[in-house]
């Protein structure tokens, strides 16, 4: 292990940094389900890569949560002060009386929209060029013709909520399996959201690309 330090990015769980003295190279090991510099998991899995009991693989507290909440017309606060106000009200046991009472904001509205755009890129709805969309469709195991239909619906959608509904429909179309994490992480790398990561079998001697 290379050492310990405070960081401003990355998941809230521990991130390990190792250095190979023989080859003079360092690398970062993220918890399963997380990606470089991401604050939240893209898929809910346990440290050994299994689904989290009682949690959706792609739920409200994952990378896609911003879009899933927007699809339910749950809009995050427009400022940090408003977000702090919600936190104080929750701590005092106060009941909210607006349409967002059941939402659990992961930030302010600007963050919600940024994550929603990121989700659209990852799912192949907001990328430049058909070739990239084709690669994302292949990575996600979604028929290309169906992804094209989703892309057309996304282009026709008006406003953040309608676009979020299309995102939700794409997520529902993704095959649910234990390889979903690899598929999502690979699609995000193709979309340019993060570098192409490499996975490692704890019992193996080599890493392999996702």
**Distance in angstroms (rounded) separating the CA atoms of residues 134 and 146:** 11
Which are the contacts of 34, defined by CB distance < 8 A and separation ≥ 6?
10, 11, 13, 40, 41, 42
Give the DSSP letter of residue 66: H
- Model confidence band, residue 97 (pLDDT cutoffs 50, 70, 90): very low
Mean pLDDT of the chain: 79
Looking at the structure of the chain, the number of domains it has is: 1
Position 202 in a domain: no
Give the DSSP letter of residue 204: S
Position 201 in a domain: no
Backbone angles phi, psi at 153, to 5 degrees: -65, -35
- Model confidence band, residue 80 (pLDDT cutoffs 50, 70, 90): low
- Model confidence band, residue 60 (pLDDT cutoffs 50, 70, 90): confident
Position 55 in a domain: yes
Residues constituting the chain: 210
Mean pLDDT across the stretch 189-207?
A: 72
Position 90 in a domain: yes
**Distance in angstroms (rounded) separating the CA atoms of residues 148 and 122:** 14
pLDDT for 186 beyond 60 = yes
pLDDT for 106 beyond 90 = no
Count other C-beta atoms under 10 Å from residue 199's C-beta: 14
pLDDT for 100 beyond 80 = no
Position 121 in a domain: yes
Which pLDDT score, from 0 to 100, does residue 96 have?
Answer: 42
Mean pLDDT across the stretch 37-53?
A: 76
Which pLDDT score, from 0 to 100, does residue 41 have?
Answer: 83
Question: Do strands 16-20 and 25-29 pair parallel, antiparallel, or not at all (unpaired)?
Answer: antiparallel
The structure tokens listed for 123 are 């799912």
Answer yes or no: are the C-beta atoms of 188 and 194 closer than 8 Å: yes
pLDDT for 66 beyond 50 = yes
Position 158 in a domain: yes
Structure-model confidence comparison of residues 103 and 125, the more confident one: 125
Which pLDDT score, from 0 to 100, does residue 9 have?
Answer: 57
Averaging pLDDT over each range in 27-31, 44-48, 151-155, which range is the top one? Answer: 151-155
Look up the domain containing 99 and give its range: 16-193
Which pLDDT score, from 0 to 100, does residue 79 have?
Answer: 72
Structure-model confidence comparison of residues 131 and 98, the more confident one: 131
The model's pTM? 0.76
Position 7 in a domain: no
47: enclosing H helix or E strand:
none
Three-state DSSP at 45 gives strand
Which pLDDT score, from 0 to 100, does residue 167 have?
Answer: 97
Position 79 in a domain: yes
């Amino acid at each position: 292990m290379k050492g310990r330090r405070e960081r401003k990015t990355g998941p809230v769980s521990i991130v390990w940094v190792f250095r190979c003295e023989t080859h003079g190279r360092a690398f970062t090991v993220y918890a399963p389900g997380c990606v470089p510099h991401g604050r939240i998991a893209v898929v809910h899995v346990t440290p050994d890569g299994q689904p989290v009991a009682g949690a959706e693989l792609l739920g409200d507290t994952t990378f896609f949560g911003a879009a899933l909440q927007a699809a339910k017309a749950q809009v995050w606060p427009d400022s940090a002060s408003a977000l702090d106000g919600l936190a104080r009200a929750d701590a005092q046991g106060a009941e909210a009386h607006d349409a967002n009472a059941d939402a659990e904001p992961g930030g302010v509205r600007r963050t919600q929209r940024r994550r929603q755009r990121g989700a659209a890129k990852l799912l192949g709805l907001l990328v430049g060029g058909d070739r990239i969309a084709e690669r994302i469709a292949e990575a996600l195991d979604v028929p290309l013709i169906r992804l094209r239909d989703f892309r057309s619906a996304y282009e026709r959608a008006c406003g953040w909520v309608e676009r979020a509904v299309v995102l939700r429909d794409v997520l529902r179309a993704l095959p649910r399996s234990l390889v979903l994490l690899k598929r999502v992480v690979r699609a995000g790398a193709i979309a340019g959201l993060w570098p192409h990561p490499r996975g490692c079998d704890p019992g193996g001697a080599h890493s392999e690309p996702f």
